[in-house]
Chain A
């Protein structure tokens, strides 16, 4: 009963705020609605018993991605109304493609069946109830063992993404006065101080 109530609450808020994301006129509001959507989607995952994904959703998407969006939206001077101009002409095409995809999905899921041996094929059987470990722990057990290959290659992908971001955006600007700590440390008294004997009455 309570679970059902929670489900409908989360689901309704997800839907409403998701619509608000794309309809809000103010981009900052859009991002805030996006954060609300993520939070409620995380709630849905908790109801499913997938607390790990729920936490990841909050930490990664709300904590990092959405906040980054917020920064971009607030700090860059982008005219969103200019961006939206002309977007309407793509709506019919988008509706057609979306409609086709939707029809396919309906066809798939109305006739959906699992392979008879699907349950045996699952590489990592669901262990929560049997051994009383959480699914975070279950993921941790396989992530660095059975799936170490995918894990390491994902690391390489992130490295390439980082190299790419630096290559495409970092530029060395000449004429910028930077603090060079090493130079400051290496400065000796003799480099900058000159002691002159001043004989009295003559001046420097």
Chain B
């Protein structure tokens, strides 16, 4: 078959993958530049990575977002992928911008740091566009491997090394489980392509497929740290350097959630009655655990870990609600969550005293007197995280619960609201500590411009989302509905070619 395929290879068809190609080449060039100039070039490389991500975003926005699958059906581009990639690139830019100053303060200013962030970003973009189990797996591994290294980049610090090790071992096991699930599915259907897999699974079923589905979902649930696959999250968040924790909290989960959504609504669309129970359960368990376990935390990074577990639970409600409306809610929720988290971690990175990072909630005591601007910013972000109107966080939750109610998922909606009330306690406690407790010592004052910029944008976005929410919601709706209309024309040219072999 391949002779025709080889001669008909068309470079213009690579257009859809251009942002990733550009980033990969840029990463290689910057790597060489860094090797030649050593660690003193970290600032330059960091800035260059931000610029490259920006250029990739422009290329991405300039592309046609119509659904097209290229490279033997392994890579798909559609409005959903395009929009999620824009979100991911935005998160990556924010996290690199946040971390540059921190790297110098914590003696981890190595030029590999921004390059690893860039490569993990390529992995995330490939995950979002994966249209084949093989592509899914290589994208996932590219992303995870870079993140494992970043978690332990402060290698002479025992906690950082521990967090990297834990993340690596558990991540390897989850990858193993994922692969095992994929092999069962492949064994049944004889294909790894999402379109053909979806087609095959819609006609007939077997026990092996169900177990394969469960294993694949377990592997992906690990990546979004949904309960019961969340154990690594608090330890890794706490142990990793704060700038890496910021990256973990802001970006990879968005990519993994996009991957999960594509899996559930493309190859596994016909198995909805089976996966619905799983998603229902992990959504519920994540929300409840995230809310209650967060109450006992005193370390703000651990607190953010439980908060992210809980937030993934809310996002999963939208997945369980399914339909274009549920997915729209998920996308809006994730976008708002990213913006809020970027701001919160911007403030957390400013928590330094005498040149050392401090990360207990008590260290924030009396911040309103020592650094009123920072305190008010964190207060606004915490109100938003708690879901208090008219801040952006409220709308994210509102859309999610609305979609749940409209699909008749009353249990999830009610328990979601209860657990978000419980979780509000720990967000509001931070505000109480900042404004009403006896002032602790002051934090170090100097804050880099790029970090101020990220925090500022985040707060402005959170406050003024209410003024004009429609661009985000409309874009999300277009992205979400493309996922569902895409199912009708399963036989894209590429897959049709596969079928005829």
Give Cα A8 to B261, complex, Å: 46
Does the CB pair B149–A167 fall under 8 Å? yes
Among candidates A117, A145, A166, residue contacting B5 with C-beta atoms closer than 8 Å = A145
A132 CB, min distance to chain B CBs, angstroms: 17
A-chain residues with CB within 8 Å of residue B155 when the two chains form the complex: 167-168
Does the CB pair B126–A153 fall under 8 Å? yes
Does the CB pair B72–A147 fall under 8 Å? yes
Give Cα A161 to B193, complex, Å: 27
Task: With CB as the reference atom, state the residue of chain A lying closest to B153.
Answer: A167
Give Cα A163 to B45, complex, Å: 15
User: Residue-by-residue, is A132-167 near B (CB-CB < 8 Å gives 1, otherwise 0)?
Assistant: 000000000110011111100110110111011011
Residues of chain A at interface, number, CB under 8 A: 38
Give Cα A122 to B141, complex, Å: 24
- Taking A156-B122, A167-B153 as contacts, is the C-beta distance between A121 and B191 under 8 angstroms? yes
Chain A CB within 8 A of B148 CB:
yes
Chain B CB within 8 A of A180 CB:
no
Give Cα A125 to B134, complex, Å: 17
- Taking A163-B112, A168-B149, A168-B155 as contacts, is the C-beta distance between A149 and B193 under 8 angstroms? no
Chain B CB within 8 A of A193 CB:
no
B-chain residues with CB within 8 Å of residue A119 when the two chains form the complex: 190
Residues of chain B at interface, number, CB under 8 A: 53
B-chain residues with CB within 8 Å of residue A111 when the two chains form the complex: 206-208
Task: With CB as the reference atom, state the residue of chain A lying closest to B38.
Answer: A172
Does the CB pair A149–B75 fall under 8 Å? yes
B-chain residues with CB within 8 Å of residue A121 when the two chains form the complex: 189-191, 196, 200
B284 CB, min distance to chain A CBs, angstroms: 23
Chain A CB within 8 A of B501 CB:
yes
Chain A CB within 8 A of B116 CB:
yes
Give Cα A146 to B9, complex, Å: 10
- Which A175-203 residues sit within 8 Å CB-CB of chain B? none
B-chain residues with CB within 8 Å of residue A112 when the two chains form the complex: 187, 206-208
Chain A CB within 8 A of B204 CB:
yes
User: Residue-by-residue, is B457-491 near A (CB-CB < 8 Å gives 1, otherwise 0)?
Assistant: 00000000000000000000000000000000000
Among candidates B74, B146, B164, residue contacting A160 with C-beta atoms closer than 8 Å = B146
B-chain residues with CB within 8 Å of residue A166 when the two chains form the complex: 112
Does the CB pair A113–B206 fall under 8 Å? yes
Task: With CB as the reference atom, state the residue of chain A lying closest to B119.
Answer: A160
Give Cα A154 to B153, complex, Å: 23
Does the CB pair B2–A146 fall under 8 Å? yes
Give Cα A113 to B207, complex, Å: 9
Task: With CB as the reference atom, state the residue of chain A lying closest to B196.
Answer: A121
Does the CB pair A123–B206 fall under 8 Å? no
User: Residue-by-residue, is B178-190 near A (CB-CB < 8 Å gives 1, otherwise 0)?
Assistant: 0000001001111
- Taking A118-B189, A167-B153 as contacts, is the C-beta distance between A153 and B6 under 8 angstroms? no
Chain A CB within 8 A of B361 CB:
no
A-chain residues with CB within 8 Å of residue B24 when the two chains form the complex: 156
- Which B57-106 residues sit within 8 Å CB-CB of chain A? 71-72, 74-75
Does the CB pair B138–A150 fall under 8 Å? yes
A152 CB, min distance to chain B CBs, angstroms: 8
B316 CB, min distance to chain A CBs, angstroms: 24
Most B CB atoms within 10 A — which of A112, A150, A154?
A150
Task: With CB as the reference atom, state the residue of chain A lying closest to B28.
Answer: A159
Give Cα A59 to B138, complex, Å: 23
- Taking A121-B189, A141-B2, A153-B139 as contacts, is the C-beta distance between A164 and B208 under 8 angstroms? no
Chain B CB within 8 A of A115 CB:
yes
Among candidates B31, B110, B152, B200, residue contacting A118 with C-beta atoms closer than 8 Å = B200
Among candidates A108, A115, A141, A142, residue contacting B200 with C-beta atoms closer than 8 Å = A115
- Which A103-120 residues sit within 8 Å CB-CB of chain B? 104, 107-109, 111-120
Chain A CB within 8 A of B498 CB:
yes
Does the CB pair B204–A149 fall under 8 Å? no
B-chain residues with CB within 8 Å of residue A164 when the two chains form the complex: 116, 145-146, 148-149
Give Cα A153 to B120, complex, Å: 12
Among candidates B6, B75, B142, B498, residue contacting A123 with C-beta atoms closer than 8 Å = B498
A-chain residues with CB within 8 Å of residue B184 when the two chains form the complex: 108
Does the CB pair B211–A104 fall under 8 Å? yes
User: Residue-by-residue, is B150-173 near A (CB-CB < 8 Å gives 1, otherwise 0)?
Assistant: 001101000000001000000000
- Taking A104-B211, A145-B6, A168-B155 as contacts, is the C-beta distance between A157 and B134 under 8 angstroms? no
Among candidates B142, B153, B211, B498, residue contacting A153 with C-beta atoms closer than 8 Å = B142
Give Cα A119 to B189, complex, Å: 8
B141 CB, min distance to chain A CBs, angstroms: 5
Chain A CB within 8 A of B221 CB:
no
Chain A CB within 8 A of B324 CB:
no
Give Cα A141 to B4, complex, Å: 13
Does the CB pair A118–B190 fall under 8 Å? yes
Among candidates A117, A125, A157, A159, residue contacting B501 with C-beta atoms closer than 8 Å = A125
B-chain residues with CB within 8 Å of residue A150 when the two chains form the complex: 74, 134-135, 138
A-chain residues with CB within 8 Å of residue B142 when the two chains form the complex: 153, 156-157, 160
B313 CB, min distance to chain A CBs, angstroms: 25
Give Cα A154 to B74, complex, Å: 14
- Taking A121-B200, A163-B149 as contacts, is the C-beta distance between A156 and B119 under 8 angstroms? yes
27 A-B residue pairs with CB within 8 Å: A108-B207, A109-B208, A112-B187, A112-B206, A112-B207, A114-B187, A114-B188, A114-B190, A117-B200, A120-B499, A145-B2, A147-B72, A149-B71, A149-B72, A150-B74, A150-B134, A150-B138, A156-B119, A157-B138, A159-B28, A159-B119, A160-B145, A163-B116, A163-B119, A167-B112, A168-B153, A168-B155
Nearest 5 pairs between A and B by C-beta?
A118-B190, A164-B149, A121-B191, A121-B190, A153-B138
